[in-house]
Amino acid sequence: MRILLHRADGKTEPWIKDFAKYLPDADIEIWHAGEKCQACDYAVVWSPPEAMLAELATVKAIFVTGAGVDALLKFGDALPRHIPIIRLEDAGMAVQMAEYVTHAVLRYFRRFDEYEAQARAGQWAPLPQHHKEDFSVGVLGMGVLGTRVLEALAPFGFPLRGWSRTGKSLNGVQTFHGADGLDTFLRGTRVLVCLLPLTPDTSNIMDRANMHKLPEGAYIINVARGAHFAEPDLLALVKSGHIAAATLDVFRNEPLPAQHPFWQEQRITITPHISALTLRRESVQQIADNIRKTEAGEPVAGLVDRTLGY
């Protein structure tokens, strides 16, 4: 068995060592631009370049080392539709995402962002506390990551809400679905957490009109994809005060350009796409298990529905 591996950062050696441990019968072929690869059975990639399409079009399955697959689906039918695309379902990312979002929610609820600004200005001024019953947290996207975030927030006693494309239920969470449910979901959400997959239907889903449906003084936490939000609209609503503050881990262009106006807005907190990092060993274990299942003709976890985009 041969596996074609591509890492944009060039750090392939640790992945090779882990595959040797968890899938010892496999030979690893490193993809290099301009070099002809030997025929491979499987490919393991994150955000492959277009020049890699010829090799990807001949494998049995493509494994993506992340939960999102938009960077692969952008190639459309240039990537034959009969080739399965399999994403990571968790591999240690869910708990990281829950940590990040819980921290951001509590930071806004306890007004630590405002106290940080006061401290920089040398001010000592206790602020009125938010009322928990008025601090509803709504999660856009109730997949593996969104569900884990809601479960992590449950012990704090916030009113919890969740929105998904199709109807879902989760104990202790008020759920909404579809286009009809989105409006009601947004109007009752004080803290909006975006954990949607990026698809043609969800691109720009948070434009000015939808963000304006959030209550005055709402908060935004985006840990999904930058393209879910219309950035100029978000900036304008933050400056107007309709959005009290935003914590953003993802952006349309990454790294975020130095001249981007988000850097100058103190009420926008920026982190460099670190809300949930891929844990290599856990990822290799999951991929190795799915390759063994594929070889045995068994169903695998994380199989992408290209029609849905996730």
In the residue annotation, 110 being an active-site residue is answered as no
In the residue annotation, 103 being an active-site residue is answered as no
Marked catalytic residue, from 242, 273, 280, 292: 273
Residue 218 main-chain phi, psi, to 5 deg: -75, 165
Residue positions counted in the chain: 310
Q: How far apart are CA 35 and CA 150, in angstroms?
A: 46
Residue 196, C-beta contacts closer than 8 angstroms, at least 6 positions apart: 140, 141, 202, 205, 224, 225, 228
> Is it true that the peptide bond before 49 is cis, omega within 30 degrees of 0?
no
Active-site positions read 225, 273
